[in-house]
Structures are given as structure tokens and as C-alpha cells.
Amino acid sequence: MTQQELAMPNTLFLFSEATQAPCAQDFKLNFRLFAAMRQVLRRRSHAIPVTIMTRADFIHHVTLHMPEVASRIEEDDFGVLHLEMGAMKLATREAIVRYEFHTVRRHFTFIAYLFDHADAPLRDAIVVSYLGSLFIGDATSQYVNARGLLPANLASALKKLELRYRRAERRRILR
């Protein structure tokens, strides 16, 4: 498979419409081809730069730039953006718990770039399934240290999310 073919997931990696999840209507990639692409890309010495991200491009770029995360995505989770983002969150959480802050920084840099260039569904998945799931409700020293590594755009998004949670909690208490 050529470099150009790998860069065009929507036209080359089709799977049947019958198996397509409703939330993945613009996502056209089959798991067997994804697994094969993941194997090929593990042997690559350099990665293609990330371009503007859409929901359909997310898995493609994660496979190119974060093969260790792509290897965590199971077939049942494939095509569901929030579950795929959950694999990214689990990889980051594991790095935080192991005090591998160089890996945490690398993940945050990657996610920050995606966040700046993402469409609305991908931004939502980053905020809810990555940042919210990773940080809300955890104030251990490891997470406080990791929070300090967040790039400005992700730190701002996390603060806004926490504010929304606090407001929702206050409304729930007042009822």
C-alpha cells in the first residue's frame, strides 16, 4: 500500500453499510485493513505530519502517530469515536500512573494539535472522553503534576468543562 493510499481513508477503506454504526456514518474504514495498516506503520521510521482533523481522519492519524495507542483499540470499539478516544485516555492514564511524563507530554501535544484542528464531534470527544474522563474527580499528586503539563488550549477546555460540571451539580442540589 502506498503512502498516498494510506492518506485517503474515506475512499479506500470501505466497509458494508449494514455494519456501520449510526454515529460513524461518515467513517469508512474496516478493522482488518486498520490492523494491517497498524502493522505496516509500526515499521515506519517517520510519521506523516498531521493535517486538519475530522472524525473520519482521527483513527488514521492515531495509527500513524500513536501506534501504541492504536494497538489498544479493539474491534468492538472501532468506529465509535468516544471509545477510540477512550483508548487514548487509557494510554495517557497509564503513563501518568507510571510517572512517564515524557509520554504524557507527547500525548498532550498530539491531542492539543488535534483539538486546534478538529471538527465539532472530534472536539467534543477530546473534551468529554479524554480530558473529562482523565482529570475530573482525580486530584492525586500524579494528576496534579500531569495537569501542569497540559498545553494552554487543553487547560482552558478542561477549566470550562469543570465549570459546566460545577454549575450542573449546583442546579441538581438546588432542585
pLDDT surpassing 60 at residue 21: no
Q: Which residue has the higher pLDDT, 24 or 122?
A: 122
**pLDDT tens string 101-120:** 999 999 999 999 889 988 88
Give yes or no for a contact between 29 and 60, defined as CB atoms under 8 angstroms apart: yes
**Is the pLDDT at 170 greater than 90, yes or no?**
no
Mean pLDDT value of segment 6-17: 42
Residue 145 or residue 77, greater confidence: 145
Yes or no: say if 65 and 47 are a contact pair by the CB < 8 Å rule: yes
pLDDT of residue 174: 81
Burial class (CB in 10 A: 0-12, 13-18, 19+), 22: exposed
- Where along the chain do its domains lie? 3-174
